[in-house]
Amino acid sequence: MNDSTSILFGMPEITVVKVEHVADDGGQSGRVVHIERPEDWAACPDCGVISTKVRRRRTTRPRDLPHGQEPLGVRRHKRHFATCADALLIEPEPPEVLGIDETRRGRPAWIKNETSGKWARTERFETNFVDLSGAGALPGQAAGRTGKAVIDWLSERGTQWKSQVRIVAIDPAACSRSAIKQALPHAVIVVDHFHLVALANKALTSVRQRVNREERGRRGRATDPEWANRRRLLRGRERLSERGFTRMWNDLVDHEPTGQILTVWIAKEELRSLPVYARERAPRPVISQRLFRFLYRCAGSGIPELITLAETVDAWWPETLAFITTGIANARTEGTNRLIKDAARVAFGFRNLTDQRRRVRLACTHQTINPAA
């Protein structure tokens, strides 16, 4: 504390920038002393990384001390330095459960190649890899939503890293499944049954709309029974009251001559019952029999939307059964997708892909780095 300002204020490493006379609202003049730290760097208190980049400037008003005949005001100017994100975002530990999903990066942009002179469109999607067994951090991202992007990212981690992954949770995407089987042949792939039920509801809506166009030659109206019961059709049987179920069933039986809508609704309810049997630890032959019954009903219906649904369920049933057995879902990955989108909204978009990935990883890994935050 050799500096005179430090001795005066009792604050080390503080210097006076300027002193000025100001007048308050009542017309009384006073003195204002502006002080700050002269250093142009700061060290992170947690990791010790030196930062010279100023993130923001802030002016505080310490308690004014009466000194002399005029009022004395103090204004301290603080500089907040930015922490180096690369020092915090170290290579994470290999997770036992890995979640994979994609998000849209933003609008496509066209970039001209300086060598060839051709224009190329930038990638709009990012594949996100989430640690589902730990604190839910974001180990990394890859450009694109193809199987090659997944394979390349996993290959960069190394054999030892990949050997630690036991389970991978994904959405029903064929490219992701084939990539995981190639890069992680020992891992178990799980798919939430929610996606299959959502496909069943989508098929039911498509059949309802198609039947209405074929029978009436127009879109649905409030006077049409199938349109009036559209929400009851998408609701589970156990969530319908007896009055609501009876009204829906009788309206469709009396006014829908093809019977396709009720056929798809019954198939949808059978599909919803399959996870219940598996969750209750029913014998494997019972589950297989119920699955065969559902597939046989769909194949014999002759309804194109129902046949497509049956093919999808049959193709993804092993992964769905693995989800029911392990209880691991991709919900935390969807939550990470929300954080990624929020980071882009707060920044009003990113122009640099490297800066975007660094900012997104820091936002998704914040709770892991600083649990008290």
Residue 50 has pLDDT above 80, yes or no: no
The one-letter amino acid code at 295 reads L
pLDDT band at 211 (very low <50, low <70, confident <90, very high): very high
Q: Position of tokens 């991709």?
A: 330
pLDDT band at 2 (very low <50, low <70, confident <90, very high): low
Residue 312 has pLDDT above 50, yes or no: yes
- Reported as a single tens digit per residue, the pLDDT across 268-301 is 999 998 888 777 777 878 888 888 999 998 998 8
pLDDT band at 369 (very low <50, low <70, confident <90, very high): very low
Q: Which of 84-98, 124-138, 159-173 has the lowest mean pLDDT?
A: 84-98
Give the pLDDT of residue 170.
93
Contact (CB, 8 A) for 270 and 290: yes
Q: Which of 89-103, 169-183, 223-237, 347-361 has the lowest mean pLDDT?
A: 347-361
Task: Give mean pLDDT, residues 196-217.
Answer: 92
Mean residue pLDDT across the chain: 83
Q: Which of 13-27, 227-241, 337-351 has the lowest mean pLDDT?
A: 13-27
Q: In sequence order, which residues have a C-beta less than 8 Å from that of residue 31 and are 6 or more positions away?
A: 19, 20, 21, 22, 68, 70, 71, 72, 73
Residue 14 has pLDDT above 50, yes or no: yes
* pTM for the full predicted model: 0.71
182 or 275: which leads in pLDDT = 182
Alpha-carbon distance 237 to 250, whole Å? 15
Q: Which of 257, 258, 211 is nearest to 230 (CA)?
A: 211
Beta-bridge mates of residue 35: 16, 76
Residue 190 has pLDDT above 90, yes or no: yes
Alpha-carbon distance 313 to 271, whole Å? 9
- Reported as a single tens digit per residue, the pLDDT across 94-147 is 889 999 999 887 777 788 888 888 888 877 888 999 999 876 688 888 988 899
Q: Which of 45, 40, 51, 46 is nearest to 15 (CA)?
A: 40
The one-letter amino acid code at 189 reads I
368 or 18: which leads in pLDDT = 18
Q: Which of 42-51, 81-90, 290-299, 339-348 has the lowest mean pLDDT?
A: 81-90
Q: Cα Rg for the chain, rounded, in angstroms?
A: 31
Residue 72 has pLDDT above 70, yes or no: no
Burial class (CB in 10 A: 0-12, 13-18, 19+), 266: middle
The Cα-based distances of 50 to 78, 340, 366, 373 in angstroms read: 17, 27, 19, 21
